[in-house]
Amino acid sequence: MGKKFKVKVDESFEFNLKTSDIDQLDLIKLSKKKIHVINNNKSFNVHLNEAHFYKRNYVITINEHIYNVNISNQLDQLINELGLSSGISKKINLIKAPMPGMILKVNVIKNQQVKEGDTLLILEAMKMENSILAPKDGIIKAVNIKCNETVEKGELMIEMD
């Protein structure tokens, strides 16, 4: 049994997908941020404008129309059904790599003050650029990565207070 996801587009449309649905897509990756999809004999050009990995929020353009896409996994859905908040963003002080990849850009330095949602760095993984955001307001205690370095999943990148 594959993983299940709930995809919400512009807060108007909701889709339930499984990994097998995604695997069946006829797509060609054109670049880091562009893919071409054929579905039901129709052609779609998809461009990733913004990726907010921790918030699972993405802004994409499909055939010149812009969409805001939120993706929730089974755990996110369970937490929501129980009426709980994960509360994870307020407790995180250690920013670790969510996946292996290469650091494309570091936007912060030691002792810099940041606000929740500020882009700390850009991590390229699986040919996609991922914005790693500040999970809370705080001060950067240490920056343990540099541009063009590779990181492994779980590797400590930034420490916050």
**Measured on CA atoms in the order 86, 89, 94, 96, is the torsion positive or negative?**
positive
Cα angle 50, 62, 59 (rounded to 5 degrees) comes to 20
Give the model confidence (pLDDT) of 125-140 as tens digits: 888 888 898 888 899 9
Phi-psi region of 90 (alpha: psi -120 to 50; beta: other; left: phi over 0): alpha
Instruction: Sketch the domain layout of the chain as residue ranges.
Output: 4-75, 89-160
> What is the rounded radius of gyration, in angstroms, for the C-alpha atoms of the chain?
17
Q: Are 3 and 71 in contact (CB under 8 A)?
A: no
pTM, full prediction: 0.52
DSSP conformational letter for 60: E
Query: Options 3.30.360.10, 2.40.30.10, 2.40.50.100, 2.60.40.1260; which CATH number does 89-160 get?
Result: 2.40.50.100
Q: Are 65 and 52 in contact (CB under 8 A)?
A: no
Between 143 and 55, the more confident residue is 143
